[in-house]
Amino acid sequence: MTLLVAGWVAIDEIETPFAKVKNSLGGSATCAALAGALFTDVRLLAAVGLDFSAEHRASLERKAIDLAGLTTEPGETSRWGCRYHYDMNSRDTLYTVVGVNENWQPVLPAGWEHSTTAFLAAGHPVLQRNIIQALKAPAATMVDTIKFFIDGALPELRETMRHADFVAVNESEARELARTPSIAKAGRALLAGGAKGVLIKLGEYGAAYLSGDDYFVAPGYPLEEVIDPTGAGDSFAGGFLGYLDTVREITPAEVRKAVIYASAVASFQVEGFGPSRMLTLRRDEVEERYREFRRFTHFEAWDEAIE
Amino acid sequence: MTLLVAGWVAIDEIETPFAKVKNSLGGSATCAALAGALFTDVRLLAAVGLDFSAEHRASLERKAIDLAGLTTEPGETSRWGCRYHYDMNSRDTLYTVVGVNENWQPVLPAGWEHSTTAFLAAGHPVLQRNIIQALKAPAATMVDTIKFFIDGALPELRETMRHADFVAVNESEARELARTPSIAKAGRALLAGGAKGVLIKLGEYGAAYLSGDDYFVAPGYPLEEVIDPTGAGDSFAGGFLGYLDTVREITPAEVRKAVIYASAVASFQVEGFGPSRMLTLRRDEVEERYREFRRFTHFEAWDEAIE
């Protein structure tokens, strides 16, 4: 069982009202890969430039992530700078350096076509679809995206969503894609568009999951201190697929568990800058938080509840 | 068992992007009373003016709400006009006519001091506290408030909160009261201030409950169409206390059930203008929605979840 994660590895500069980091290991594929590695074997398909440090590479290797697909291209590693506002729920992108991702054409290393699950982190939908189509018999694939591709490559994105088992979008993206303020309606519209399962990430409020015959919602973890929200959605995706990669059969009950594992991992992600908390996080801490989620969402069933 | 609801009865004018109503029965006490009446006997303590119509009074009487405490004062019934923005999550108050509530001094009708539960809808914290203190042995009291009193009567409000079993605030009020963007931290701060249980209403995202030894979170109901969010928080409160008024003992498990009943009732409230949906809502519809809440929040416990 192996989770393939494809997307951007980047170098980030992040400023919050309380602190600032430079040259931080970042990128959506990075966060997802590190989260997935808590559960299963992970393969990383991404491009970096000649400036990508041995130290950053070692951070990924220490988590036993297979880097055979992490190619070094002539040019610069992608870079991203952002500044968060006081409430941490909104941010300004200060700059984006696309670097080697400008012309990256992902090629699966030999044998990777047999990956059992795959996460296509935000990237051009045609590249995402090519990777999905190169897989022989994946048990689950998930596509994420960002506003940039909703605005600039919508028909291709819709086509790619039809090829994925799960589509992950955040709340504002869901609303934009479906042109409705109702999250429930937006989720239904995405399903009608061909996605088999839709995960709507609600930030601090948790996440909702919709499929043709299921609806599930997980709350956010009640964190008292958020250090840096960057990458929460990607570690959510990595946790979701990482867990699903380990189950015998992907049933609705397993998908619900995966949403909780994903929420637990994402709640740790925001406890540190970039994916730094993922580098120290242990599986037993995730399991403990799973139990906490259960404790603070459980209530008695109706037949227990009536007098 | 009887729920006492004290606060404003008003006449509203509400405009959403899709429709507009005038002369609508409104006021926070009205919505809470109608919601509570789904579960238990309700007594309404409020003041209206000479202009309050027989039709509006009949709407309350048809739900068997005891109106012995609904006094008619010389002057005008309170009036409120508002306009919602496109996403229904924000609104502008167009006008507030305080009317008879300017000088209202609530007096409990004989016997009402034995009410078993009480909801003090938004109002001056000194009036709220006087009512709580007039009760002989309430099983549960809850105080709600609005920004107006947080800004204008904070020391009195804090004192009143110490006298209540439950404090209900919405998210922005919680943040303002606690001066922190973290909801979890804001809830803890309110507990530290003396509230025994804190309900933080998260609008479409649901509600969180905190006490000294419990944390619980309920999601929002996935409504595809919101007609009018006015009064959702008040019907939440009415549903919460209405249910608790019926239980033998207020245990943590019963409080959790009450939060779900409250969420279910509030989800119906927003399906119509003002409290109009409350006028037709049946208890069995609430029970069915309770079961839905259970279905879309349930996931397997950790010991079932591990392989």
Quickly list DSSP for A213-279: TEEEEEPPP--S--S--TTHHHHHHHHHHHHHTTSSS--HHHHHHHHHHHHHHHHHHTTSSTTHHHH
Nearest to A216 among B185, B260, B296 (CB): B296
Q: What is the pLDDT of residue B181?
A: 83
A256 lies within 8 A of chain B by CB: yes
E strand or H helix at A168, and its extent? strand A166-170
Closest-CA distance, B129 to chain A, in angstroms, reads 31
Nearest to B302 among A89, A256, A290 (CB): A290
Numbers of helices and strands, H then E, in chain A? 12, 13
* B21 close to B80: Cβ distance less than 8 angstroms: no
Q: Which pair of tokens denotes residue B231?
A: 């009064």
Angle at A29 between CA A23 and CA A34, to 5 degrees: 85
Q: What is the pLDDT of residue A303?
A: 65
Nearest CA to A146 among A101, A212, A87, A88?
A101
B259 lies within 8 A of chain A by CB: yes
How many CB atoms are located within 10 Å of the residue A213 CB? 6
B192 lies within 8 A of chain A by CB: no
Quote the distance between the C-alpha of residue A112 and its chain's center: 20
Nearest CA to A98 among A169, A158, A165, A27?
A27
**Interface touch B306/A287, C-beta < 8 Å:** yes
d(CA B277, CA B269): 6
Which residue is closest to A259 within chain B, CA to CA?
Answer: B299
Quote the distance between the C-alpha of residue B97 and its chain's center: 21
Closest-CA distance, A146 to chain B, in angstroms, reads 21
How far are the Cα atoms of B47, B57, B70, B77 from residue B54, in angstroms, in the given order?
14, 5, 13, 13
* B148 close to B176: Cβ distance less than 8 angstroms: no
Query: Could you list the pLDDT tens digit for every one of the 307 residues in chain A?
Result: 999 999 999 999 999 988 999 999 999 999 999 999 999 999 999 999 999 999 999 999 999 999 999 999 999 999 999 999 987 878 999 999 999 999 999 999 999 999 999 999 999 999 999 999 999 999 999 999 999 999 999 999 999 999 999 999 999 999 999 888 888 999 999 999 888 999 999 999 999 999 998 999 999 999 988 999 999 999 999 999 999 999 999 999 999 999 999 999 999 999 999 999 999 999 999 999 999 999 999 998 866 644 4
Nearest CA to A263 among A210, A205, A212, A183?
A205
* B137 close to B4: Cβ distance less than 8 angstroms: no
**Interface touch B183/A290, C-beta < 8 Å:** no
ipTM of predicted complex: 0.91
How far are the Cα atoms of A205, A299, B54, B193, B247 from residue B218, in angstroms, in the given order?
10, 9, 38, 24, 20
A216 lies within 8 A of chain B by CB: yes
Angle at A226 between CA A272 and CA A203, to 5 degrees: 110
Question: Which chain B positions have a beta carbon within 8 Å of A87's beta carbon?
Answer: 181
List, in order, residues 6 or more apart from A20 with CB less than 8 Å away. A13, A14
Hey, what domains does chain B have and what are their CATH numbers? 2-298 (3.40.1190.20)
B226 lies within 8 A of chain A by CB: yes
B187 lies within 8 A of chain A by CB: yes
d(CA A222, CA A206): 10
A contact test, residue of B291, B302, B307 with most A CBs within 10 A: B302
> pTM for this structure?
0.94
List, in order, residues 6 or more apart from A205 with CB less than 8 Å away. A219, A220, B202, B205, B206
Nearest CA to A46 among A123, A133, A153?
A123
**Interface touch B299/A260, C-beta < 8 Å:** yes
Closest-CA distance, A102 to chain B, in angstroms, reads 36
Q: Which pair of tokens denotes residue A16?
A: 């919050």
Which residue is closest to B87 within chain A, CA to CA?
Answer: A181
d(CA A236, CA A232): 6
% of chain B exceeding 90 in pLDDT: 89
Nearest to B205 among A88, A185, A202 (CB): A202
* pLDDT tens profile B207-247: 999 999 899 999 999 998 899 999 999 999 999 999 999 99
List, in order, residues 6 or more apart from B161 with CB less than 8 Å away. B143, B167, B190, B193, B194, B195
Beta strand B70-72 with B41-48 is parallel
Which residue is closest to A257 within chain B, CA to CA?
Answer: B299
B299 lies within 8 A of chain A by CB: yes
B contact test, residue of A271, A299, A300, A307 with most B CBs within 10 A: A299
Q: Helix, strand, coil % (nearest 5) of chain A?
A: 40, 25, 35
**Interface touch A257/B305, C-beta < 8 Å:** yes
Nearest to B86 among A181, A183, A204 (CB): A181
State the pLDDT confidence band at B205, using cuts at 50, 70 and 90.
very high
**Interface touch B306/A299, C-beta < 8 Å:** no
Nearest CA to B3 among B277, B261, B289?
B261
